A and B are shown apart, each in its own frame.
Chain A
Amino acid sequence: MKSVEELLAIKNKVKGQMSVRSENEEGNVRVLVGMATCGIAAGARPVLNALVEEVAKRGLNNIYIAQTGCIGVCQYEPIVEVLEPGKEKVTYCKMTPEKAVRVVTDHLVNGQPVAEYTIGAATK
């Protein structure tokens, strides 16, 4: 390595991977994936991984992604909840990795919840 640019390139690459290790700060958007037996059986793990990867790829650093237990409506699993400070909770259901990517782009990046994936739309 002979240039500062090369050093910065390594830093930027690794920093994103290490961001998981910071304490959850107030004001962060929290994304919770239901990972009880029902969630796992319905395929929550690929959803969780897709969320983590998409968020890292876009370098979003104020998003906290974690697992949570059973929310109680097992027939709608995999369920993903998005909690933004000061806003109503948005609950997405019957998620897939593809849907997860769209939630990241539309909701987390552009602030537009994807209405058709929400539990409200599914129960109508």
Chain B
Amino acid sequence: MYRSHVLVCGGTGCTSSHSPEIIEALNAQLKEKGLESEVQVVRTGCFGLCSLGPIMIVYPEGCFYSQVKVDDVPEIVEEHLLKGRIVRRLLYSETAQAEEIKPLNETNFYKKQHRVALRNCGVIDPENIDEYIGADGYQALAKCLTELTPEEVVKIVSDSGLRGRGGGGFPTGRKWSFTAANKADQKYVVCNADEGDPGAFMDRSVLEGDPHCIVEAMAICGYATGATEGYVYVRAEYPIAVERLQKAIKDARAYGLLGKNIFNSGFDFDLHVRLGAGAFVCGEETALMTSIEGNRGEPRPRPPYPAVKGLFGKPTTENNVETFANIPQIILNGPAFFNTIGTETSKGTKVFALGGKITNTGLVEIPMGTTLREIVEDIGGGIPNGKKFKAAQTGGPSGGCIPAEYLDTPMDYDSLLKIGAMVGSGGLIIMDETSCMVDIAKFFLKFTVDESCGKCTPCRVGTRRLLELLEKITDGNGTMEDLDTMEALCYYIKDNSLCGLGQTAPNPVLSSYRHFKDEYIAHVKDKKCPAGACKNLTQIVIDAEKCKGCTACERKCPVGAISGTVRNPHVIDQSKCIKCGACIETCRFGAISRK
């Protein structure tokens, strides 16, 4: 029995800030002090507050240590684990304000969250199947196989109101019932873990923090739809997720939770992992299946839908990681547990990867219908550096932006569609007043141009032409006619592309044009970038009244564009200036600014 558990985050974020070395140092120190049989060190999945990593939680006290360094380990072991004295300087500042330590779930970041899909992330050791079982793991599978018929399982999922979390929002129960209704000698279950949106890492965190729940959910789906084999398609860029998933499958097989005749029910199910080479288009369901089959990842026309003719031409159910992650909880606790969370048409919770200009970067899971304002101001801790919120981009390159006037919009499928955005897969990028919306649209479009597979012309050529138009505008050469052409081209690409990639690629342009039209016009008519982000439309100037002639900027300028004499105002040669902004940061008198 261990009297104290030390949980160290082993997600990708904290791993890259050296959490494995911290674990190593902890184990060495514990051994040195003879505490190894009293204190257990557990490498968990993501806690969510990635901006404060590496994160460590010490139980029973529930102390949340943030930004821990390897050098802090001896102090933690000596003071806290040996003598019971909490190392206050390392505590997450919000928990350490009073004499008594504030419990983590009462802090602003965690208070409004509701963890269903992420319930085991940061709680259990993802590489230990026993810990998953200790947290009610595989109970849902056991219940399905021993107490429920496949039809009853589909009904529970339907009644829960769960909708696809990959972005589409299609009712999961309906999807399962389609595959179940088709007769075939072989059916498949596919898990889409090809998370490709820039800034999104929900699926990665689930796979890293709780891989067994995906294994369990896929087996349940197999039972409900009559499939005996499953594939998880995961990006090769997620090495930790792949490793843990493979270990989870191996351990589940060893326990007989995968394989033949599971729980003596006569049901067989096995899982395979396929690695994607990082092509964004492979997140589209038909392209993904083509890729699993060993072919070049290109989409195919629908219908026939995967439920009729999917992987290897057989009926297939394909769901996203987060969708699957909800399934065991729904089966165990019943549909009412799930459909009482959220809004009328969007049930349950949604995981968002919060990034961009926000204080608390990380992973949050909130009930559907939580407003954007609550996410940004309460959970996210607001915009850093005293800047103002400008917009949030949901759904990455397929989604749209939500401007400040819609901050009180509930985050659910239908409310977001109404304002031209979407829930999407869960990427949520926050932008402040220094972000130029035209520039952001250009960024996402550049991404889709790179990632277009080239099979259909509207997407291959259309997105390229659209990008050229945006470049023309941000370079200051755009005309008002270009804006009309741009809008018309957007609709053309949407209507005529073969798959979801092309059909949604113009969304960032359309939604930013809808909400920030004057910003586009300013680029075209006034040749100005109001946010000061488009380099070709801004000038860096020195205010002659404020300049003291200290020469600091002149020495800092990497291209020698600043000239002047001591104690006299300096000037910038605009033909030489590369607009790097180094001089702005150097000036102690606030005399230099972008115009």
- B38 part of interface (Cβ distance < 8 Å): yes
Q: Is the CB of B1 within 8 A of A17?
A: yes
Q: Is the CB of B38 within 8 A of A45?
A: yes
Q: Is the CB of B130 within 8 A of A14?
A: yes
Q: Which B509-535 residues have C-beta < 8 A from chain A?
A: none
Q: In chain A, what residue has the closest Cβ to B137?
A: A11
Bound: A37/B79 CA distance, A? 10
Q: Is the CB of B131 within 8 A of A49?
A: no
Q: Is the CB of A21 within 8 A of B61?
A: no
- B142 part of interface (Cβ distance < 8 Å): yes
- A7 part of interface (Cβ distance < 8 Å): yes
Q: B255 contacts which chain A residues (CB < 8 A)?
A: 1
- B4 part of interface (Cβ distance < 8 Å): yes
- A88 part of interface (Cβ distance < 8 Å): no
- B267 part of interface (Cβ distance < 8 Å): no
- A67 part of interface (Cβ distance < 8 Å): yes
- A64 part of interface (Cβ distance < 8 Å): yes
Bound: A40/B83 CA distance, A? 8
Q: Which single member of A21, A22, A56 contacts B1 (CB below 8 Å)?
A: A56
- A3 part of interface (Cβ distance < 8 Å): yes
- B469 part of interface (Cβ distance < 8 Å): no
Q: A40 contacts which chain B residues (CB < 8 A)?
A: 82-83
Q: B29 contacts which chain A residues (CB < 8 A)?
A: none
* Among listed B157-165, B170-178, B256-264, B563-571, interface-contacting one: B256-264
Q: Is the CB of B83 within 8 A of A66?
A: no
Contact with B along A3-37 (1 / 0, CB 8 A): 11001001101110110111110000000010111
Bound: A13/B146 CA distance, A? 22
Q: Is the CB of B84 within 8 A of A7?
A: no
- A52 part of interface (Cβ distance < 8 Å): yes
Q: Which A44-63 residues have C-beta < 8 A from chain B?
A: 45, 48-49, 52-53, 56
Q: Is the CB of A11 within 8 A of B256?
A: no
Q: B3 contacts which chain A residues (CB < 8 A)?
A: 20, 48-49, 52, 65
Bound: A80/B328 CA distance, A? 42
Contact with A along B53-67 (1 / 0, CB 8 A): 000000111100000
**How many chain-B residues does the 8 Å CB contact rule pick out?**
37
- A69 part of interface (Cβ distance < 8 Å): yes
A1 shortest CB reach to chain B, Å: 5
Known: A10-B133, A20-B59, A37-B83. A4 touches B104 (CB 8 A): no
Known: A2-B264, A18-B135, A21-B59. A10 touches B1 (CB 8 A): no
Q: Is the CB of A4 within 8 A of B2?
A: no
Q: In chain A, what residue has the closest Cβ to B264?
A: A2
Q: A1 contacts which chain B residues (CB < 8 A)?
A: 255-257
Q: Is the CB of A14 within 8 A of B84?
A: no
Which of B130, B134, B136, B263 has the most chain A CB atoms closer than 10 A to its own CB?
Answer: B134
Known: A23-B62, A52-B3. A69 touches B123 (CB 8 A): no
B463 shortest CB reach to chain A, Å: 48
- B457 part of interface (Cβ distance < 8 Å): no
- B124 part of interface (Cβ distance < 8 Å): yes
Q: Which B1-33 residues have C-beta < 8 A from chain A?
A: 1-5, 7
Q: Is the CB of B2 within 8 A of A20?
A: yes
Q: Is the CB of B131 within 8 A of A20?
A: no
Q: A118 contacts which chain B residues (CB < 8 A)?
A: none
Q: Is the CB of B1 within 8 A of A14?
A: no
- B105 part of interface (Cβ distance < 8 Å): yes
- A91 part of interface (Cβ distance < 8 Å): no
Bound: A52/B35 CA distance, A? 14
- A68 part of interface (Cβ distance < 8 Å): yes
- B139 part of interface (Cβ distance < 8 Å): yes
Q: Is the CB of B136 within 8 A of A11?
A: yes
Which of B7, B137, B261 has the most chain A CB atoms closer than 10 A to its own CB?
Answer: B137
Which of A7, A13, A53 has the most chain B CB atoms closer than 10 A to its own CB?
Answer: A7
- B111 part of interface (Cβ distance < 8 Å): no
Q: A20 contacts which chain B residues (CB < 8 A)?
A: 2-5, 59-60
B21 shortest CB reach to chain A, Å: 23
Q: Is the CB of A66 within 8 A of B123?
A: no
Q: B138 contacts which chain A residues (CB < 8 A)?
A: 7
Q: A33 contacts which chain B residues (CB < 8 A)?
A: 84
Known: A45-B38, A52-B1. A69 touches B142 (CB 8 A): no
Q: B133 contacts which chain A residues (CB < 8 A)?
A: 7, 10-11, 14
Q: Is the CB of A18 within 8 A of B131?
A: yes
Q: Is the CB of A67 within 8 A of B62?
A: no
Which of B59, B85, B124 has the most chain A CB atoms closer than 10 A to its own CB?
Answer: B59
Which of B3, B82, B264 has the most chain A CB atoms closer than 10 A to its own CB?
Answer: B3
A79 shortest CB reach to chain B, Å: 12
Q: A4 contacts which chain B residues (CB < 8 A)?
A: 142, 146, 263
Bound: A2/B60 CA distance, A? 35
Instruction: Give the A-binding residues of B (Cβ under 8 A).
Output: 1-5, 7, 38, 59-62, 82-85, 103-105, 123-124, 130-131, 133-139, 142, 146, 255-257, 261, 263-264
14 further A-B contacts with Cβ under 8 Å, apart from A13-B130, A14-B134, are: A1-B255, A7-B138, A10-B133, A10-B134, A11-B139, A14-B131, A17-B1, A18-B134, A21-B5, A21-B59, A65-B3, A66-B61, A69-B83, A69-B85
Sample of 25 A–B contacts (CB below 8 Å): A1-B255, A7-B138, A7-B142, A11-B136, A13-B130, A14-B131, A14-B133, A15-B134, A15-B135, A18-B124, A18-B134, A23-B62, A23-B103, A23-B104, A24-B60, A24-B61, A24-B103, A35-B83, A48-B3, A52-B3, A64-B60, A65-B3, A65-B60, A66-B60, A66-B61
